Structures are given as C-alpha cells and as structure tokens.
C-alpha cells in the first residue's frame, strides 16, 4: 500500500496581486515501495510539491491521491521529515517516536513494542531516554525517521533531510536510509538539490525545470544497491543529470 499519483497538478501563488506559477502540469505516478527523488534548483517548486502531497497546501488545480484516496489535508498516511528534524524538545526520544502512535490511539503496550522496533531499526535503542538536545544532528535525523515510520505511513516524505549535516554524516545517513528503506519497503518521495544524493538513493529521479516548475525528465536509476560512485554507469547518470540541471542554473 502506498501508490502515490499526481494528476495535472498546478500551484499558483498570489504575490501581492500578481499570480506566480510555481508548478504547472505535474503528472506523476509513484508505485508502492518506490523510492522517488525530486531533483531541482531552489525555486523550482519542489518543496511546494512536497507540501501539497503532505497536505499542508492544496493544489490550485489537479489532484493528488494515495491509493486512490484524494489528499485533502495532512494525515498519518503521509508523514514528513524536515531538514531541521522538528523533534519535540520537551519529550525524550522514546516519547518523540511514540507521538504519532499516541495520536492514533494505539494502546501503551503496543506503542512500546512499535517504538522499540523502530528505535532498533535506526540504531538508537540505547538512547531512548535521552532528550533531543543531547543528540548529534545525524542522530536527531534518525529519531525523525523512526518517528515518521512508526505510524506505518503509506508514503514517507523527505524535504532535503540531510542538507544540514556535515559531509561525512550525510554519507553515513544516506547509507542508513538505503538500508532502512530496503528493510521497510516504503514508498518514499525525497526532495533534494543534490545530484549525488538522488543517484545514491532513488529508483527514479524526477528532474524539475524552473519558472514555472515542470517535469523536465524522469530518469530511472537501474543500479544495484548499495551504489558505488566509481561505477562507470554511475558516472554516466551523473553526467546526464548534471546536463539536465545545468540548463536550469541562473547565469552567474
């Protein structure tokens, strides 16, 4: 379960009376269990796209469905992970991960079992009683992943999740995400501006153009996981994506 479908989705913002088209004619089918990366420069509307799938904003026209059910607002079947983690600072790690389950009304014993499972999944079983400020950035993002997965969403949304991390931590987290995704088999939509992140993680990369944001190309990544940057096929994909993205860069 977790088939996400966008049909002719457009988003027009009102900029002090002047309409600005952020996204136009986005039609996209993401299969159950597929890892999809949305790649584009800042200002291509990729975050707007994710916000609409999350239900925080509604499309100006077009429709978004998850397993044929229309998206009308935020809900647990589409959890989201932000760049700045958005953990609850007053709650310890266990309570953070349990939050969505509590909202769903899952009984305490069951809640505990699910939380323990997800804390082990992200490798933080020993940190259950700590508070967010006691953890490093990478660990905080692991908590956010555990929290988002604990409610058993159909689709996991990620908005530049590793952009705030240092290079080494980011690579480690990309490896972790691949491992977790292979274990959990969730549909994932990840927004990123990093070509390498898209190739390392995704089954398909959706390249967006700018002004307005449209789908420029959908590039399937057929490489085996874990992916190797020294693989010649990897280099070919990187070159292709770089050329697609390069056209969109602002003249400096």
Binding site for other proteins (CB under 8 A): 54-56, 73-76, 78-80, 82, 84, 86, 88-91, 99-100, 102-104, 131, 133-134, 144, 147-148, 151, 157
Q: Whole-number minimum distance, CB 201 to other proteins, in Å?
A: 21
Q: Which is nearer to other proteins, 84 or 240 (CB)?
A: 84
To the nearest 10 degrees (0 to 180), the angle between helices 108-121 and 167-184 is 130
Length of the chain: 252
Identify which of residues 87 and 199 has a Cβ nearer to other proteins in the complex.
Answer: 87
Q: How far is the CB of 160 from other proteins (least distance, A)?
A: 13
CB of 102 to other proteins, least distance (A): 7
* SS3 call for 81: strand
- Residues 6 or more apart whose CB falls under 8 angstroms from that of 87 comprise 96, 132, 140, 143, 144, 147
Contact 79, 106 (CB under 8 A): no
| Residue 250 burial (10 A CB sphere; 0-12, 13-18, 19+) | exposed
Residue 6 C-beta: closest distance to other proteins, Å = 18
CB of 199 to other proteins, least distance (A): 27
Residue partners of 109: CB distance under 8 A and separation at least 6: none
Rank residues 24 and 141 by Cβ distance to other proteins and give the closer one: 141
Closest CA to 147 of 91, 101, 185: 101
Looking up tokens 């692991």, which residue turns up? 142
- Residue 102 vs 231, nearer CB to other proteins: 102
DSSP 237: H
Of 100 and 212, which CB lies nearer to other proteins in the complex structure?
Answer: 100
């Amino acid at each position: 379960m977790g088939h996400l479908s966008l049909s002719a989705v457009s988003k027009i913002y009102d900029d002090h009376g002047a309409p600005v088209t952020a996204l136009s004619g986005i039609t996209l089918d993401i299969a159950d269990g597929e890892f999809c990366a949305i790649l584009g420069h800042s200002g291509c509307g990729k975050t707007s796209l994710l916000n609409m799938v999350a239900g925080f904003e509604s499309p100006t026209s077009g429709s978004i469905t998850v397993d044929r059910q229309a998206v009308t607002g935020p809900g647990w079947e589409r959890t989201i992970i932000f760049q700045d983690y958005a953990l609850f600072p007053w709650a310890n790690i266990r309570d953070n991960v349990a939050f969505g389950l509590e909202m769903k009304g899952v009984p305490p014993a069951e809640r505990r079992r699910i939380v323990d499972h997800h804390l082990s999944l992200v490798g933080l079983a020993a940190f259950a009683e700590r508070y967010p400020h006691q953890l490093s950035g990478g660990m905080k993002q692991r908590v956010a992943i555990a929290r988002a997965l604990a409610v058993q969403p159909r689709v996991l949304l990620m908005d530049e999740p590793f952009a705030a991390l240092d290079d080494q931590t980011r690579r480690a987290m990309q490896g972790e995400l691949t491992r977790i995704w292979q274990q959990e088999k969730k549909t994932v939509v990840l927004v990123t501006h990093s070509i390498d992140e898209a190739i390392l993680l995704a089954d398909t990369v959706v390249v967006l153009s700018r002004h307005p944001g449209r789908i420029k190309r959908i590039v399937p990544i057929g490489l085996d996981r874990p992916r190797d940057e020294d693989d010649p096929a990897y280099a070919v994909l990187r070159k292709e994506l770089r050329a697609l993205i390069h056209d969109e860069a602002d003249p400096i």
